[in-house]
Amino acid sequence: MDDFLTEVQEEGVIGKIAWYNQQLVVVRDDFIRWLGELGYTVDVQEKPLTLNEGPSGKYDSVEYQFTLHGAGELGGTCLRLSPLGIWWLGTRGMISLKGRFGDENIGFFQKDGVLSNAPDAPDYGYVTEDAWYWEKRGIHDHPARLSRDTVAALARRVS
């Protein structure tokens, strides 16, 4: 029986890792599209990396580096979309956007997730659907769903 439970747990973890890595590709593609809509061409480089989280152990993932070209304020900027992992409280996964002057977290929040309904965490009432949200850090800030506008603000914030 213990072998069966271990196998089921491992399959669940493998599924979470596969989902997360696929979502990194989705977020990468969204960033490229939205930065293009803002007038930038984007060069993307992939860097394989290994994450090591307690509940799942080591697993492979990818970090994406974006170099923005264009005449706007972000021309010449380099950004890294770096996976943080699947075991983050209140999320299905977390990613960090890193730039020259800082980093910001992006989490996959679920509308009916633990934090979205917590009475002592009213910020998460802004989670209106299962999606990737910029997890703003200010006391009065609330998560903002990823969009062209939030990606522009994120890029300015870390660059």
pTM confidence score: 0.84
**Contact 150/30 with Cβ under 8 angstroms?**
no
Tens-digit pLDDT profile for residues 56-73: 899 999 999 999 999 889
Residue 94 CA to residue 108 CA, distance in Å, equals 6
Q: Kindly state the average pLDDT of the residues 36-50.
A: 96
Residue 27, pLDDT above cutoff 60 = yes
Residue 45 CA to residue 126 CA, distance in Å, equals 33
pLDDT band at 10 (very low <50, low <70, confident <90, very high): low
- If one compares 10 and 22, the residue with the highest pLDDT of the two is 22
Partners of residue 119 on adjacent β-strands: none
**Contact 142/127 with Cβ under 8 angstroms?**
no
**Would you state the structure tokens that stand for residue 42, as one six-digit string?**
């984007």
3-state secondary structure of 151: helix
Query: Which residue carries 């996959």 as its tokens?
Result: 108
Tens-digit pLDDT profile for residues 88-134: 887 899 999 999 999 999 999 888 765 544 444 445 567 888 999 99
pLDDT of amino acid 55: 83
pLDDT of amino acid 106: 96
Residue 159 CA to residue 138 CA, distance in Å, equals 18
Residue 139, pLDDT above cutoff 70 = no
- If one compares 65 and 143, the residue with the highest pLDDT of the two is 65
pLDDT of amino acid 140: 61
Average pLDDT, the chain: 86
Domain residue extents for the chain = 2-158
| CA angle 44–50–52, rounded 5-degree value | 135
pLDDT of amino acid 7: 46
Residue 11, pLDDT above cutoff 80 = no
What does DSSP say about strands 131-134 and 94-99: parallel, antiparallel, or unpaired? unpaired
Helix (H) / strand (E) containing 111 = none
